Amino acid sequence: MKSLLFVTLVFFTLNLSAQQIPSADVKKMSGETVSTSTFQNDGKPMVISFWATWCKPCVKELNAYSDNYEDWVEETGVKIIAISIDDTRSSGRVGPYVNARGWEFDVYLDENANFKRAMNVPNVPHTFLIDGNGKIVWQHTSYVEGDEEELYQKILELAK
């Protein structure tokens, strides 16, 4: 009897640890539709950062990540996904904007804020850290210089 209870409990806990990123349709620069439920990084940590071309702190934040990205990937295998919430007024700028800045992240367009709503983001910038099981383990709203250090600490803890 006790063992049955135990098995049940194990199943419950197993399930709780296996989460998935909320599903919403976003677009690649080429206009191709991608479901956010397919976002994954082979069990390694993943950062999802919401930004817009018209948001100064967002661009500062992604510049700071970009400066460190090579080292971070090498040390932890982390992947950064940048979700632009620019609507069709400015979403056409995103491609060249990202290339000129030399950002190596995976960039997607969320022109009507479907994914932003699914992730309950009130304002940009807003950044989530996702563990290898797809669970949100940390988040941060707004950006000031130096915040990237806190994020990196959290990534290191996950990568251990």
- CB burial of residue 26 (10 Å; 0-12, 13-18, 19+): buried
Which residue's CB is nearer to other proteins, number 77 or number 132?
132
The residue assigned the tokens 């130096």 is: 146
Contact mark string toward other proteins, 103..132, x via CB under 8 A = --------xxxx--xxxxxxxxxx------
What are the strands, taking DSSP E only, across the chain?
A: 25-27, 33-35, 46-51, 79-84, 106-109, 126-130, 136-141
Q: How far separated are the first and last CA of the chain, in Å rounded?
A: 37
Q: Is 42 in the site for other proteins (CB under 8 A)?
A: no
CB of 96 to other proteins, least distance (A): 3
* CB contact set of 145 (below 8 Å; sequence gap of 6+): 60, 64
Q: How far is the CB of 48 from other proteins (least distance, A)?
A: 13
The reply on whether position 71 binds other proteins by CB under 8 A is: no
Our finding on whether 68 is near other proteins (CB under 8 A) is: no
Check residue 89 for interaction with other proteins (CB under 8 A): yes
139 binds other proteins (CB under 8 A): yes
Q: Least distance in Å: CB of 138 to other proteins?
A: 7
